[in-house]
């Protein structure tokens, strides 16, 4: 009888082990099911985490170029001999525009839009003129250490609020405010005085 009792207990233990094994397999299958179902989401989150620094850098660069600073390419010889016509410069979009600043401006000539790089001479509210190749502001002679060649005379021009009078340093060939008129402040993209290319010219423009 004792051996029979032991046999029943053994059978009971075997059944219990099978139930435990079955439950364990079910739990493992459930865990495996959850892992496979969420794998794509986990991978996406991991990829986003890895890319986030680069996304932030891209956003900062775009904001800088849009609102603060951007590279610009000089074309032509209208600013010779200050600029040679092939430089790449840094354009600063913030800050006040002052006399003698080099600026980039959007202009329109004969119905065609263009972007030019010139130097500021006349400021809002001033009257600018040129007589005998010399430039006058409100009737007073001002320094002009930038003109290359002879500056053609022009009649007095009184600037309105937010208007600027621009001249190219190469006075004999420059298409500037003597032709397309005063430029509104909203059409001035910014100021520039720093060359980044060619490397031999790297640095601030000498005025």
Catalytic residues: 78, 118
Distance CA 122, CA 142 (A): 11
Task: Judge whether 147 and 168 are in contact, CB under 8 Å.
Answer: no
Instruction: Tokens for 26, please give them.
Output: 């079910």
How far is residue 87's CA from residue 85's CA, in Å, rounded to a whole number? 6
Bridge partner residues of 69 (DSSP): 92
Which are the contacts of 185, defined by CB distance < 8 A and separation ≥ 6?
Answer: 97, 124, 162, 163, 164
The tally of CA atoms less than 13 A away on the side-chain side of residue 198 is 5
- Whole-angstrom Cα distance, residue 175 to residue 128? 17
Q: Is the dihedral of CA 194, 73, 201, 64 positive or negative?
A: positive
């Amino acid at each position: 009888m004792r051996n029979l009792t032991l046999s029943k207990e053994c059978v009971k233990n075997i059944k219990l082990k099978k139930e435990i094994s079955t439950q364990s397999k079910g739990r493992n299958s459930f865990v495996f099911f959850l892992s496979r179902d969420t794998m794509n989401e986990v991978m996406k989150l991991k990829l986003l985490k890895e890319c986030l620094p680069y996304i932030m850098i891209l956003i900062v660069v775009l904001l800088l170029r849009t609102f603060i600073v951007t590279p610009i390419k000089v074309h032509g010889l209208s600013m010779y001999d200050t600029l040679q016509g092939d430089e790449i410069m840094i354009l600063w979009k913030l800050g006040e525009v002052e006399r003698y600043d080099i600026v980039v401006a959007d202009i329109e000539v004969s119905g065609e839009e263009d972007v030019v790089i010139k130097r500021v001479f006349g400021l809002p509210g001033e009257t600018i003129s040129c007589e005998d190749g010399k430039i006058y502001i409100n009737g007073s002679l001002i320094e002009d250490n930038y003109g290359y060649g002879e500056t053609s005379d022009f009649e007095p021009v009184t600037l309105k609020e937010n208007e600027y009078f621009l001249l190219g340093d190469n006075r004999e060939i420059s298409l500037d405010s003597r032709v397309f008129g005063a430029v509104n402040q909203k059409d001035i993209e910014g100021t520039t005085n720093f060359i980044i290319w060619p490397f031999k010219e790297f640095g601030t423009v000498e005025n």
